[in-house]
Amino acid sequence: MRALESSGLGDAIRSRVSAGRPLLAICLGLQLLCEESEESPGVKGLGLLSTVVTRFPAHARTPQLGWNLVEPSRPEGLVGPGYAYFANSFKIDSAPPGWSPSWADHAGRFVAAIERGPVLACQFHPELSGAWGLRVLMAWARAAARGTEVTC
């Protein structure tokens, strides 16, 4: 966050998302969009998602490394149902109003991805998620090119 803020990129990302311009955030990128994180107590995030990043429960194996089922909350979104590759010890538990989540389960349900128009933030790694991940990336690229939502 220090590097983002000192370079001016924090304000650029906030402006871009607020204007509904395309943005793709992956893994830590999703977490940086939030207000704060248990991973770095006292450090404020970008504040674009009104939620807090929390650690998986103590009984959960962390980091979560491997494949997990992703289930979208709506069929017309950028993320379709499928298996994604995750590498995370932290998560968000809810989607702020106005954002559409996709869900996964690792010691309980958590947000696997969140989207609004051409803004997509994934906790998983689409670039490591085979053909399914490529479909997610292509859907986002089409939405970014058109400035509208596109189904994958």
Catalytic residues: 27, 125, 127
78, 150 contact by CB (below 8 A): yes
**142 SS3 class:** helix
Q: Is the dihedral of CA 103, 104, 106, 108 positive or negative?
A: positive
37, 69 contact by CB (below 8 A): no
- The position carrying tokens 């995750």 is 86
